[in-house]
Amino acid sequence: MKSYIAAAVQMTSKPDLALNLGEAEDLIQLAVNQGAKLVTLPENFSFLGEEAKKLSQAQEIATQSEKFLKTMAQRFQITLLGGGFPVPVGENKVFNTALMIAPDGLELARYHKAHLFDVDLPDGNTYAESSTVQAGEMLPNISEDWGLGQIGLSVCYDVRFPELYRHLSQQGADVLCIPAAFTAYTGKDHWKTLIQARAIENTCYVIAPAQTGNHYGMRYSHGHAMILDPWGTILSDAGVHPGVAIAEINPARLQQVRQQMPSLQHRVFS
């Protein structure tokens, strides 16, 4: 693993597949222009709309999203993560699927979101992800290493379940990806704290692409796509507008932190 530039893309996705893929392409180009070799897109990058509309269009969204990721990875010669899109499974259900593609267009890792967001928030919004999404039952695997280190996948609400990330660190993860569409209400209090905790406790880089702003109706996302180092230091923050967070992933820094704070070697309970 050598040092390289990574990008966490921030979008305001809408219930419009073509519009979203166009915005994603522009932001990928922006990241590549700044030297990014690993580009990560947020959860719901290709479609963010009401659950019923997502379900009715799921096959088209899945087909076009996967085609898009492979095309962009090959065109720009980057490793590209699509942080979450619906893939039909069974009857009236989809997996919320994160997919990482290599520069040659081959699949490096695929993960179905395990923890589903079923929450009634005080701001009046109710989320029932499990009404249309089937939870994944497999822990995520570490991606194949294309010179970018060992990369572990997760999706959004997973960030509240540290055992998933401890599994990834035990598998040798150097980088944890946490693509999200974090709500504005919870994000203001929890987003930064949670992703910093995942970086610190696992002494890993964290790349967290995000959704921001108003998507439809009362659905607002928090923004603040970030890249953090293994000490929990925020290296880049995209703020609240669409754009990219850009930072270097440096193996020397990874080794330094793990030598200074060898907490993973001091674990008592498995």
Q: Annotate 155-168 with b (16+ C-beta within 10 A) or e (fewer).
A: bbbbbeeeebbbbb
Q: What is the pTM of this model?
A: 0.97
- Annotated domain spans of the chain: 4-266
Tell me what percent of the chain is helix, strand and coil, each rounded to the nearest 5: 35, 30, 35
In the three-class reduction of DSSP (H, G, I as helix; E, B as strand; rest coil), residue 42 is classed as: coil
**Catalytic (active-site) positions:** 43, 113, 156
Phi, psi (rounded to 5 degrees) for 221: -110, 155
Per-residue pLDDT band at 54 (split at 50, 70, 90)? very high
Contact indicator for 174, 151 with CB cutoff of 8 Å:
yes
Question: Quick one: pLDDT at residue 145?
Answer: 73
- pLDDT tens-digit series, residues 171-209: 999 999 999 999 999 999 999 999 999 999 999 999 999
Assigned CATH for 4-266: 3.60.110.10
Mean pLDDT of 236-260: 98
